[in-house]
A and B are shown apart, each in its own frame.
Chain A
């Protein structure tokens, strides 16, 4: 536990030392800001025609999920791939630290960074609250942001595991993006094919969010889904690291 935390703090700190992480954070907040502005403007127009219309917090939360799918690969690509490329993995694997502690520490560091990014965007609901009458639904904010954090945990865990497979950061990023998009879209062909493929539906990453958490509904099934994906990612990461030893 102790060593996990040492590694997590190191990873978290490393984001603040690299320009790439700042660039990602900047892009994330910039795109959200533009979308927020555009949404507010569109809503203002709409409220002329439909008196009483007010945008909900989903105008912030929904684009963030899509953005996460694209920024998490960039933030997790380095975690183990860079250690493997530079050879520092030899230091980690010969220090008295369990393989699982390395993976969990790496994941925790990247998750905390994404969590900071997500929590920074709480500014938008605060701003929106000032703009709409009679204010926004804070229950929806709570469930939406919980959902975003859960989603971030799951995506960073998968990204960590995929990073352990590579010694090239770019390859790790592209592979992560491919996996994320597959999980994101896996429900679409299923829903097109009829109701029989509920397994695919269950595995779908986005429906666990858009159908419930984004609307202010806490459903334990969705929370369990994201937590199990997180656990699976960390488990696979540990197995991959262990397998590297046996090669």
Chain B
């Protein structure tokens, strides 16, 4: 895999005694859309502000395209497009003038042509002469996005990009992000689970400043669709042959090993696979200690991860080894 465009190591930020983010570690690669999922106050915005060189971290390191956000902050800022949560725009300017100002500030060459190109892309070209103050919430959001992609940044950081939009606009903005995500690295935050699933290649679930789970949307999807979720405990370490057999069972969507002697199996919707699983485990020579059903939607997983249910959150954080079926 190519070198990570976003590299975050032990990133920590404290505001006085309050720890906003606590030793975060993650990476994002070129052409990847990484989702940041978590409740309000989880530390999403703080992380994004550090990555955009808006504020320095208290400890730890963050690099964008190889440049440190503190030591080479100007280089970082050249390479990052940022849409803050509040979508800051200058109300006294026209849509076009706003983009021209931001473009000049960022040193965009041929800023006129580029501003029009971006306006076309976000569907605001016919409002180019309107004052920013007269735009609807959805249009403001799209103008904010236009501003973020104006200088063709390598990394796009979007804080709640679809918040406050109507359903049609949400679809439009998501399409736009998906399109941008093909060429650039996108880090977006959201607290809408479905959005993270639709858009992101990978999702980080963050709560109280910590990453409590990291998963691919395929896994999340499997969980969301409400198929049976089955926990299996066996005696001894689970070997590859058993995993292969379980995965080939009809109706089994996903097999994970949260611990060497534990299995977590997700079945396709409406399928009863427990008898086959039990049989397969026994036939492979393992002692079956437990087989238990746990149906969960992603919402429930999310709530469990981010709730004050510490053991559950801890367990999820310690489940690094995830294999897709």
- Does A96 lie within 8 Å of B54, measured CB to CB? no
- Does A245 lie within 8 Å of B88, measured CB to CB? no
Residues of A that sit less than 8 Å from B by CB: 2-3, 6-7, 10, 14, 17-18, 86-98, 245-247
- Given A91-B102, A94-B80, A245-B55, the answer on whether A86 and B74 have CB atoms closer than 8 Å is no
We find that the number of chain B residues with CB closer than 8 angstroms to chain A is 27
CB neighbours (8 Å) of B104 from chain A are 6
Closest to A6 in B: B104
| Alpha-carbon separation in the docked complex, A88 to B88 (Å) | 5
- Does A96 lie within 8 Å of B84, measured CB to CB? no
CB neighbours (8 Å) of A17 from chain B are 92
Q: Which of A14, A18, A97, A245 contacts B54 (CB 8 A)?
A: A245
Q: Which of B55, B56, B74, B88 contacts A96 (CB 8 A)?
A: B74
Q: 7 pairs across A/B with beta carbons < 8 Å?
A: A6-B105, A87-B86, A90-B84, A90-B86, A94-B53, A95-B106, A245-B55
- Does A90 lie within 8 Å of B56, measured CB to CB? no
CB neighbours (8 Å) of A10 from chain B are 101
| Alpha-carbon separation in the docked complex, A74 to B111 (Å) | 33
Summed over the interface, the residue pairs from A and B with CB atoms below 8 Å come to a total of: 62
| Alpha-carbon separation in the docked complex, A17 to B97 (Å) | 13
Q: Say what secondary structure dominates the interface of chain A.
A: helix
| Alpha-carbon separation in the docked complex, A88 to B105 (Å) | 13
- Best-buried of A87, A89, A91, A246 by chain B (most CB within 10 Å): A91
CB neighbours (8 Å) of B49 from chain A are 90
| Interface status of B242 (Cβ within 8 A of chain A) | no
- Does A246 lie within 8 Å of B77, measured CB to CB? no
Closest to A102 in B: B105
- Does B88 lie within 8 Å of A90, measured CB to CB? yes
Contact code string B82-114 (vs A, CB < 8 Å = 1, else 0): 101010111110000000011011110000000
| Alpha-carbon separation in the docked complex, A3 to B15 (Å) | 31
Closest to B84 in A: A90
- Given A3-B105, A10-B101, A245-B56, the answer on whether A87 and B88 have CB atoms closer than 8 Å is yes
Which are the 8 A-B pairs with shortest beta-carbon distances? A88-B88, A87-B88, A87-B86, A96-B77, A94-B52, A96-B78, A90-B84, A95-B105
| Alpha-carbon separation in the docked complex, A2 to B104 (Å) | 9
Q: Which of B56, B77, B86, B107 contacts A94 (CB 8 A)?
A: B77
Tell me how far the C-beta of A9 lies from the nearest C-beta in chain B, rounded to whole angstroms.
9
